[in-house]
Chain A
């Protein structure tokens, strides 16, 4: 349930679901997100679900904070027992050319790269949210032994397809972008396709993801 609704500026509602970041809280966020989306409320022009927050942006020409706050408070939440989630396998190559921060992680985590990969691959991840850049999925939870902070100085350019980790999450850079996550590999598959307007994202909130390790040969021949 929403714990508190406040305003973010004059044209958005800030719905707080609590401090904890876990699947249960996030599932509530996603339920509200889908319910509001379905209800098609006049004036709403954007919804941004995240780990434990939902931001509802609106057109100030059509509605205002007080009106929308009431509508959201009175909203019937659709009962989605199993959020229509799908399982997605993501092939990742950890060749030296791609695993840009593996040495840093070995030092920070005091683990060998073999151990790091063992704790990362073939485990189920949950997609909490997508965004920052188009289609970027935020996936959790990362094995407790693999949790590290962001780079002190973010990279100006992280290559497209890079798979990164930070704190309890993993992500995938859907295209070249600045970024500070620890990069451990690269996927040959396209995670975001702007030509598919109805479903540009391969991974959506609520989906389950498993990373599969592939060799450089498999990587190079993947799209043939």
Chain B
């Protein structure tokens, strides 16, 4: 039996295995993790004929360069990504949302994400990774999940345990759009902020800081004035919560966030905007826009329907 595997020629900046993450562990301090951009994750698996929740490789900014050894295998890349497929005789410019076939000793070189942060590489079949609490998602903070909870490293191998028999090529027409208005619901400590602070939050522009990662997104802009207390008694956090610490700059909790926090919550990003939120690159300018709960629920239904429609087109 021939062993099928990738060898890592370049690991990329923050390359991890992800699926839909793990549930019901907040109370012991373990966040959901999982793919940051869920829609692009789901599409990636569908394009290579996988079940919806199989592990994919998530990368940020610069992706990995991988050399393949083994039987023919299909792959696909989603997001807004520049990549090359290097064959023995020629090099092909990669196209996102399209299936490609790799042969023995072909390489895939993921150069960069364009005007976005995360991209996904799916492999037609299953990779041999460690599952913990029914998820392979790599949580590098707690060293949980695939790859012993670590980012992909130079020269390591990614072993393929099964290749899908169906080798049909598929494609999807989809363009990622960037958001400028992040829709939010008022947070549970909204009244900790002065009228001026509230106005600043909803009317002024904020820039995404370089200090953003899978745990959180820091924003810079005019200081949001707090008139009650810059600390609260530590309590649970969820994805999308916007905390404002004493320096007045908002921090949005993302998939690998600490499960408990002690800063006032001014708002929470609506679920429908999460996939686009995480794709905002450092320097991007954003504004927060208030919506109410029933609108947020409607926007989620629309987002969910659109995702299902895209998947059913593949």
Chain B residues 215-254 with CB under 8 Å of chain A are 233-238, 240-241
Mark A1-34 against chain B: 1 for CB-CB distance below 8 A, else 0. 0000011111110100000010000000000010
Kindly list chain B residues whose C-beta atoms are within 8 Å of the C-beta of A200.
28
Pair B144/A131 contact, Cβ less than 8 Å: no
Mark B254-284 against chain A: 1 for CB-CB distance below 8 A, else 0. 0000111100010011110000000000000
Asked if A48 lies at the interface with its beta carbon under 8 angstroms from chain B, I say: yes
Interface residues on chain A, number (Cβ under 8 Å): 45
A7-B185 contact, Cβ under 8 Å, with A61-B304, A131-B260, A134-B28: yes
Chain B residues 113-156 with CB under 8 Å of chain A are 132-133, 141-144, 149
Mark B24-51 against chain A: 1 for CB-CB distance below 8 A, else 0. 1111111010000000000000000000
What would be 27 A-B contacts, judged by CB atoms less than 8 Å apart? A8-B188, A9-B185, A9-B240, A9-B268, A10-B270, A11-B238, A14-B188, A46-B24, A48-B235, A48-B259, A51-B235, A55-B235, A55-B238, A60-B297, A64-B297, A129-B234, A129-B260, A131-B236, A132-B260, A133-B29, A133-B141, A136-B29, A175-B142, A177-B141, A192-B29, A194-B132, A205-B27
A residues near B (Cβ < 8 Å) are 6-12, 14, 21, 33, 45-55, 57, 60-61, 64-65, 129-136, 138, 174-175, 177, 192, 194, 197, 200-201, 204-205
Known: A9-B241, A47-B24, A57-B26. 14 other contacts (CB 8 A): A9-B269, A10-B185, A10-B297, A48-B237, A49-B27, A60-B304, A64-B297, A131-B258, A131-B259, A132-B261, A133-B141, A134-B144, A177-B141, A194-B132
B residues near A (Cβ < 8 Å) are 23-30, 32, 132-133, 141-144, 149, 185, 187-188, 233-238, 240-241, 258-261, 265, 268-271, 293, 296-297, 300, 304
